[in-house]
Structure 1
Amino acid sequence: MRRLVQAPVPGQTCLSPLHQRGTRWAQKGNDVEENQKVKTQWPRSADEPGVYMAQTGDPAAEEWSQWSVCSLTCGQGSQVRTRSCVSSPYGTLCSGLLRETRVCNNTATCPVEGQWLEWGAWSRCSVTCANGTQQRTRRCSVAAHGWAECKGAHADARECANAPCPSDSKWGPWNHWSLCSKTCDTGWQRRFRMCQGTGVQGYPCEGSGEEVKTCNEKKCPAYHEMCKDEYVMLMTWKKTAAGEVIYNKCPPNATGSASRRCLLNAHGVAYWGIPSFARCISHEYRYLHLSLREHLAKGQRVLAGEGMSQVVRSLLELMARKTYYSGDLLFSVEILRNVTDTFKRATYTPSSEDVQRFFQVVSYMVDAENRDKWEDAQQVSPGSVHLMKVVEDFIHLVGGALKAFQSSLIVTDNLVISIQREPVSAVSSDINFPMKGRRGMKDWARTSEDKIFIPKDMLSLSSSEMEESSHFVVGAILYRTLGLILPPPRSPLAVTSKVLTVTVRPPPKPTEPHVMVELSHVINGTSQPQCVTWDYSKM
């Protein structure tokens, strides 16, 4: 059965189905929040047990209390006051708020947190030996309005290390051996150690504080086994024994050090060997290298490329004088390598004049007159081998700028260079080098019996590689004199012919490689002649 209950207050009624005992009710339609209303319940009647009803009535509240103390002691806070409802036999009848809040402002300004100043310098170590500690402090800067402590530590510490503290009866380390008392016929060397903590040699530590050993036990050379003082090329070479190498400053027009060895002839008489200038660099070559670095510092591509052209022109002028040391040859290889790398990085295409000058410099460098200089330079670095690698890189720099099926031929007194660019998909023809009928060919190359044949079938790539590369650059070089200055590929072989080199990029993948090479002997009467190949590009 369902019942309806009506509130006794006129004008406000609640209609709802009657639920089980203990059900609570709420009334809607008032803008005041529910938790700020007074919710009352009528006493349970005998006629309708278990029914509760919330009801609001006319205001019947007591006076408001005093405002509470402000919630903050500085800045903006809040205050609260409350009031209670009046009780009656019929329940509690009141409406409106029973709690109010307002903003309160304090005249006191809230303090601002202090700021740390920079750390001070570390103090001295707390001890003079072994491990100790160091301290440093910092100050807190107080704000202008109010005051507050800085957060964090005002002091800092760290460990510091010193030499170990001395202890009684312990030896310190040995010092260095003294110079030998004699240069030959057995001399003596001494060294000492100190007893730590006492400062007195050998006391109270057990053992000896001195050690002695023999030195220079070799027999002193006789008078005829000594190279005498000699003044050569503005340098004084002091007397020394056979087998010894002495060093001297380079001549005034160069920097670095020169060396010379005292040798013995077949009769046991000492004599001076030829001075080595492999570590001497003429001032003019060093200045040219410095100017190269200045051009490298230029940010613009065109300026850097033009700078390299000027470097090659100046190097050619220096080489044409033929007044250089063996160290200058090694240094020139480094200059040409830097020129090639700069052209490449700047994506600057060298002109035909630049290409001709570059290879003319190389021709001067590998001239037969420099055979002794290259032999001297090999003591420091295989410069002629490095030169071959530089030439190969420059060939591919030039070939990359050629058009399809275009070729270039450079002829000098000591080398012939052929550079051509072939499309990967359609190599035009076989390669015969050198082509002796070409205009401008030198007589030494035209009459030479040395040649190489590369069939066009060799220039092939896999399908994946063809997608990455659109063309081949093929370079071939015939060196007239390189065999005289190259270190032999292995002992006891000696190069007795001209040298042919071939470079192809990207490296081809032929199915049946068959390259034909013909070389004639430069020196007649060579025993056990054989053709050898070696790859210097991996060095």
Structure 2
Amino acid sequence: MFNLYNFDDDEQKVKTQRPRSADQPGVFQAQTGDPAAEEWSQWSVCSLTCGQGWQVRTRSCVSSPYGTLCSGPLRETRLCNNTATCPGEPQHQAVEGQWLDWASWSRCSVSCGTGTQQRQRRCSVSVHGWAECKGPHSETRECTNRPCDGGGNWGAWNQWSLCSKTCDSGWQRRFRMCEGTGIQNYPCDGSGEEVRSCNDKKCPAPHEICKDEYQGLMTWKRASAGETVYNKCPSNATGSASRRCLLDANGVAYWGPPSFARCISLEYRYLHLSLREHLAKGQRTLAGEGMSQIVRSLLELMSRHSYYSGDLLFSVEILRNVTDTFKRATYIPAPDDVQKFFQIVSLMLDMDNLQKWEDAHQVSPGAMLLMRVVEDFIHLIGEAQKPFQSFLAVTTNLIINIQREPVSAVSSDINFPMKGRRGMKDWARSAEDKLFIPKEVFSLSSDESDEASYFVIGAILYRTLGFILPPPKDPLVISSKILSVTVRPLPKPTEPVVVVELAPLLNGTSQPQCVVWDHTNP
């Protein structure tokens, strides 16, 4: 899959905020919860009636085998001991366990003179009736350091205390104990206390502090400039909201807008629970029909235009789960549900959500992840189409065309979008953007031709995605619509002549460049 858009240099500097993740950049963090699972069964009867045996208990995951939400062990084993002594039958005799390797020796107990070191080892006991290992679990030996200077030995330092002040330079202390006296009955040399400075930053002036503020049924507590304050999400959502205290050009503190990128509305939570219940039905047809119901319900929620930025990220995860379940269950949704799927994507990419996406991208690159989900869904639909059949979806914010062509004979060149087709939106009909792929491009090596019978070709024209994606580095801006093409299997043309025309959307830019982003070739 490759995506095309225009970059323009713009002398005007644009403040940008790059997406970041708390754990790893580019890693999605929507909270999906653990899969539903039945309670553990009772422990089985001990495997041996005498000596040492084992017991087993199991549980079942109620998720469908075609879902992606199951995790954790389904079987546990533990040892059991019977007080009765076994007769001399070899197969029921307890077998001695096996020692693992010794661990490294510990540090010497003293810093000077003669002390001791210890090391330990673990016993590996089999579940098949093996006994404990024979021998000691630990060993001790003497260790000799430099001679003590007539005094005792210092123990290890304890932890540093809390700082005495939160700003304007405070102090921390830590202590150590003198362990006994030396050969001449002298105490330890040196001090048993250390002091260091801490929190050297200057205390904020009154004008550099954001005061308590009540906004949107939430109270934001006083904070210094640069600090981020966390709060519970509103009562109709779960998760945590955050807000940062900022400084303006005059050095006066003010509250930035609250972030709801980690807030998920209860209705979206309930929809995810419903998704898990459909997976628990355990049958392909039922699971597939359940996913179609999830699509219809999600479209209804999105149509209300009342959700948090975290709901956008969570909806990307729901659509991914739906697509994966359709794929695993080999279930193809009805054409009406396919249209609803793309309508959801269009609603998510509406310009009214621009600020929500900017907020969400502080947590995860959700818009880019949504592009991957759309690509996977396109190939799911394309694989089910008949040869030479095409599918067109036209929405307010994107156009999708899907074709299935025989590898041996692609019927015609690819022209996208076809403005004269019925049902085309005005914005698409008047667009000057164009994609042309000659049919000669679709060629495979002889080995790949034997393995693959059809090409699935998907083309998407995104009307608003260029404004919604995380912005590039200054002074670059995305100044056109985004055109995305995905082909499986990937062709290997000898002369890949692909024509792309993208009309600029922004005035006052200079030095336009056509940028190709191929996420299949990192």
- The count of residues paired between Structure 1 and Structure 2 equals 400
Deviations 1:200-252 (A, max 9, x none): xxx95443333222111111111111111111122211111111112122122
Question: Structure 1 377/142 Cα, relative in aligned 2: closer, same or farther at 3 Å?
Answer: closer
Residue identity matched to 1:472? F
Correspondence for 1:8: none
1:497 equivalent to 2:474? Answer: no
Alignment-derived partner of residue 225 in structure 2: 242
Amino acid in structure 2 at the alignment position of 1:159: P
* TM-score (norm. length: structure 2): 0.71
2:137 is the alignment partner of 1:160: yes
User: Which ranges in structure 2 are unaligned for 5 or more consecutive residues?
Assistant: 1-47, 54-80, 97-130, 145-150
- Counterpart selection for 2:310 from 327, 331, 335: 327
Q: Which has the higher contact order (CA 8 A, sep 6+)?
A: 2
Q: Give ranges in structure 1 of 5+ residues lacking alignment.
A: 1-114, 121-135, 144-149
Secondary structure of 1:243's match?
A: coil
The 5-angstrom pairing of residues 172-191 of structure 1 reads 172-191=155-174
Given the alignment of the two structures, is residue 517 of structure 1 paired with residue 450 of structure 2, yes or no? no
Q: For residue 358 of structure 1, what is the amino acid of its counterpart?
A: F
Structure 1 pair 329/164, CA: closer, same or farther in 2 (3 Å)? farther
Measure how far apart 1:178 and its partner are.
Answer: 2.4
Structure 1 SS opposite 2:514: coil
Please state how far the C-alpha of 1:195 moved relative to its aligned partner.
4.4
8 Å CA contact retained: 1:137, 1:156: no
Name the aligned partner's letter for residue 157 of structure 1. K
Question: Take 2:173 and 2:290, find their aligned partners in 1: how far apart are those partners?
Answer: 59
Q: Which of 402, 405, 412 is the equivalent residue of 1:429?
A: 412
Residues 461 and 484, structure 2, Cα contact 8 Å, conserved in 1? yes
Q: Please give the alpha-carbon distance, in whole angstroms, between the structure 1 residues aligned to 2:267 and 2:458.
A: 32
Match of 1:408 among 391, 395, 416: 391
Kindly indicate whether the alpha-carbon contact (under 8 Å) linking 2:180 and 2:187 is maintained by their aligned counterparts in 1.
no
Q: 1:491-533, CA deviations, whole angstroms, 9 ceiling, x for partnerless residues?
A: 5321111110010110011111111111111111112222111
Instruction: Quickly say closer, same or farther: Cα 1:239–1:160, change in 2 above 3 A.
Output: same
What is the alpha-carbon distance in structure 2 between the residues aligned to residue 172 and residue 361 of structure 1? Answer: 65
* Contact in 1 for aligned 2:51/2:94 (Cα 8 Å): no
Q: 1:155 to 1:439 in 2, by over 3 A?
A: closer
Superposed CA deviations along residues 309-341 of structure 1, whole A, max 9, x for unmatched, are 111111111111111111111111111111111
- Cα deviation for residue 169 of structure 1 reads 4.6
SS of match in other structure, 2:373: helix
Q: CA RMSD in A?
A: 3.0
By how many angstroms is 1:142 displaced? 6.8
Distance 2:394 2:306 in 1: 24
Percent identity, aligned pairs only, is 70
Give TM-score scaled by structure 1 length. Answer: 0.69
Instruction: Give 1:465 deviation, angstroms.
Output: 0.8
Please state how far the C-alpha of 1:159 moved relative to its aligned partner.
3.2
Distance change (3 Å), C-alpha of 1:158 and 1:528: same
Superposed, 1:33-72 pairs within 5 Å as none
In structure 2, C-alpha distance between the alignment counterparts of 1:356 and 1:139, rounded to whole Å: 70
Corresponding letter in the other structure for 1:140: T
Residues 500 and 302 (structure 1), Cα distance of their counterparts in 2 relative to 1, 3 Å cut: same
Shift of 1:377: 1.2
Partner of 2:336: 353
Structure having the larger proportion of residues in strand: 2
| Matching residue's letter, 1:223 | P
Distance 1:196 1:310 in 2: 72
- For residues 276-302 of structure 1, the C-alpha deviation after alignment (integer angstroms, 9 at most, x for no partner) is 111111122122222222222332110
CA distance 1:306–1:170, shift in 2 (3 Å): farther
Name the CA distance, whole Å, in 1 between partners of 2:264 and 2:521: 27
Task: Identify the match of residue 277 of structure 1 among 236, 260, 263.
Answer: 260
Contact 2:382 2:456 in 1 (8 A): yes
Partner residue of 1:118? 51
AA aligned opposite 2:465 = L
How many Å separate the matches in 2 of 1:477 and 1:116?
Answer: 68
Q: For the pair shown, which has the larger CA radius of gyration, 1 or 2?
A: 1
Residue deviations 1:87-131, cap 9 Å, x none?
Answer: xxxxxxxxxxxxxxxxxxxxxxxxxxxx993259xxxxxxxxxxx
Question: 2:423 maps to which residue?
Answer: 440
| 2:85 corresponds to 1:140 | yes
